[in-house]
Amino acid sequence: QQALNRGIAAVKEDAVEMLASYGLAYSLMKFFTGPMSDFKNVGLVFVNSKRDRTKAVLCMVVAGAVAAIFHTLIAYSDLGYYIINKLHHVDESVGSKTRRAFLYLAAFPFMDAMAWTHAGILLKHKYSFLVGCASISDVIAQVVFVAILLHSHLECREPLLIPILSLYMGALVRCTTLCLGYYRNIHDAIPDRSGPEMGGEATIRKMLSFWWPLALILATQRISRPIVNLFVSRDLGGSSAATEAVAILTATYPVGHMPYGWLTEIRAVYPAFDKNNPSNKLVNTNSTVTATHIKKFTFVCMALSLTV
């Protein structure tokens, strides 16, 4: 995120306004994509066969399409004008740039959903190194493309596309890495259908019933940043000071998120090693990880976080 912000901050003219517009659009987009990341847990728990994987992908295709529709509505309809311009009290220039950036980000939830679904399946089969490599590749791709696009004509024609295109390229690299990892390591090793010994075949209803409480929690967490942006912008009356304050929040928020980001990942550890989970019988492993080991590992992560 810092690299993406750098792509906006490098603009010679209206850098603060651009950063504020991108920050507003990005925080709203993260609110829509937040619930998608929890579908990693659906892949981790429910996907035991090719048929289960097809159902999980179908759910995420629909969710991505719904998110894209909301993006388009906010970009073009009076609803978006009310949410961005009226509710935030921003001026016409910032509002139009924010809605345009939000439209450009419409396809990102779909790519993010596909990546997280396959990440959960890979984690289930203990391919966490591959998932980590995909995430690191995402970051590297974003940084590289920001550097490349800063030397292109986009800086003058459409500066908002510098971080957005870089974000898409990173997501494309991550999604491609995870999908190829799934097809190479898992697809041929799992059955076409789940038998009773693996807990039975999962249904879309079961997946959604498991997913929505987790998605609601993460959506509640992700809505905090748009709310902060809203109160800051309204409190300063949509003035240039408000634009500057939102730009500062955009630049500093990723740094504040670093020490506690591990909390959202620690949830995947227990389901992957729980011996009472029938689906884990699919994986042949000599691991002796117990609940006590996981608790100790969590405390070590917390100590490192507090040190940071």
Look at residue 239 and tell me whether its pLDDT is greater than 70.
Answer: no
Look at residue 42 and tell me whether its pLDDT is greater than 90.
Answer: no
238 band by pLDDT with thresholds 50, 70 and 90: low
Query: How far is the C-alpha of 134 from the C-alpha of 198, rounded, in Å?
Result: 28
Q: Which residues contact 95 (CB under 8 A, 6 or more apart)?
A: 81, 84, 85, 88
58-81: average pLDDT: 88
181 band by pLDDT with thresholds 50, 70 and 90: very high
pTM reported for the whole predicted model: 0.78
20-31: average pLDDT: 85
**For a pLDDT cut of 70, what percent of the chain falls above it?**
90
259-270: average pLDDT: 78
| pLDDT, tens only, 93-148 | 888 888 998 899 988 988 888 898 899 899 888 888 999 999 999 999 998 988 88
